[in-house]
Amino acid sequence: MSKLDEEQVKKDLDAIFKFADKNQRLSWKRKRSRIDKLIKELEPLNEKMLELILQKQPLLDEIESVRQNMVHECVHPIDYLAHRDRGSYVLCKFCGAKISLKR
């Protein structure tokens, strides 16, 4: 950018900035300061939430491991069975198996 371009950019930005009156700019600045303060108050909570997530993850991993084992050894509990495609087969909603019906 040439010097003339930089000056024009500064002039344009300054004109946009000054479009709002001084009271509006001060009010906006106070609101922005309030947001900054609230964000700082939020930081310790975010840290606590991260700690809880890290504590929760091993439990979720174990649940997933047991669930995968259950899917592999599925006994197709009745509360997970549903007729599909006008009764042509039964679907186990737990393991996803399509069980054909002998009629």
pLDDT of the residue at 79: 96
Give the model's confidence band at 97: pLDDT under 50 very low, under 70 low, under 90 confident, else very high: very high
Round to whole Å and give the CA distance between 25 and 19: 10
CA angle 83, 86, 87 (to 5 degrees): 45
Work out the end-to-end distance of the chain between its first and last CA atoms, rounded to an integer number of angstroms: 82
Taking 90 as the threshold, does the pLDDT of residue 7 lie above it?
no
Model confidence pLDDT, tens digit, residues 17-76: 888 888 999 999 999 999 999 999 999 999 999 999 999 999 999 999 999 999 999 999
Give, in order, the Cα–Cα distances in Å from 6 to each of 9, 14, 19, 55, 66.
Answer: 5, 12, 20, 53, 64
